[in-house]
Homo-oligomer: A and B are copies of this chain.
Amino acid sequence: MTLKDIASSLGVNASTVSRALDPHKAHLVSEGTVDRVRAAAKQLGYRGDRVAGALRRGVTGTVGVIVADLANPFIAPVIHGIAQSLAPRQMLPMVIETNDNASELESSLDHLLSRRVDAVICAGARFSNRDVLEEAGRSTPVVIAVRGLSNSVLAQVLHDDRAGGAMAARHLLGLGHTRLAELRGPDDVGNFVSRHLGFREACAEEGLAVIDLPEVGERPIREAGEHLARLLIDLHGDAMPTAVFAHNDLMALGALSVFRQHGLTCPTDISIVGYNDSPTIDQVDPPLTSVIYPGIKVGRSAGEVALQLINEPAEHAPGAMFPPRLAVRKSAAPLVNDPFLGRTHAT
């Protein structure tokens, strides 16, 4: 069932059918013909072929979306936001995963480009991907979302992780804590680096040094939180920090369970701040204080920037930066006692 079929069934030309069926062109066709064409199309169950249309027009109505890992629940709202912003234009995201692997990102990008996506939104970049992304950006609009790239000419839609890190620090400092530690996410991923910097800086402003762990989480998951918490106890059990900033909620939960195993109660013995404000995190024990990540907004904005870039490739890349907010709950509390000062803790 093609335009031609309808045309011949009506004794008109395919061009006429094409025009009659396109709302923007129907005015070029006599009303009677438009009606007859529409009736025939409906009756024959005609459905336009967007693949053929895409080839002819040179635009596909798709936006490629690169994510590190779809199984990470944190990314779902971002994709939701992207899909929302594209839907009114009848455009669809094409989502591809990289397994958080820098070289897979390259082939994913290539794959999307070979499908002639109208734009790419990369929500899973590592620093080492900058060059390929910028290279792609020269021929197709590319938006960097979620995980920022420093010194890049590309449009970036981010959450202000640096301010978020600082916010976590100031909250803990305001509660009277002076010995703080960080459980860091990967150090080649923009948002974790920013969280780290923000946290550091805010502490430095108060003249405090943050306890330094010799490792960062390779992936920002629960197991990394457990591992780093153990490391913290191993290395600093004799002078444990009274407050910990985990780079995301999963890591915070991992740390929480390890601390608990070691007889440390949160928040009495140790305060914890997480990141993302994940769906059920307000009902864990204790309810986790967490920096709110506005995933839907970031996604929606990234989609809008992509659309904008598709319409008019800008010299000066537009972008957006969303401010953090803090969900204050129970896992971070005022410093009351300091059970570890000078004491050696069994590991």
Contacts and interface: CB of A to CB of B under 8 A. Distances in A.
A315 B286 CA distance: 54
Interface stretch (A109-117, A182-190, A198-206, A319-327): A109-117
Contacts of A94: 62, 92-94
Interface stretch (A5-13, A76-84, A146-154): A76-84
Given A71-B80, A96-B83, A284-B280, A51 B47 contact: no
A26 interface: no
A257 B116 CA distance: 49
B115 A95 contact: no
Interface string A32-51: 00000000000000011111
Contact of A75 (B72, B76, B285, B296): B76
Contact of A51 (B73, B111, B116, B284): B116
A292 B270 CA distance: 32
Nearest to A135: B45
A52 interface: yes
Chain copies in the assembled complex = 2
Contacts of A70: 76-77, 79-80, 83
B114 A97 contact: no
Nearest to A48: B114
A256 interface: yes
A90 interface: yes
B97 A80 contact: yes
A10 to B, nearest CB: 21
A47 B115 CA distance: 9
| Top 8 closest pairs, chain A to chain B, by CB | A285-B285, A70-B80, A73-B73, A71-B80, A283-B284, A76-B76, A50-B115, A51-B116
18 contacts: A47-B113, A49-B55, A51-B55, A51-B115, A52-B55, A55-B55, A69-B80, A70-B76, A70-B80, A71-B80, A75-B76, A76-B76, A83-B95, A83-B97, A84-B97, A92-B115, A94-B94, A280-B280
Given A49-B114, A71-B296, 5 more contacts: A52-B55, A72-B76, A80-B97, A90-B111, A257-B283
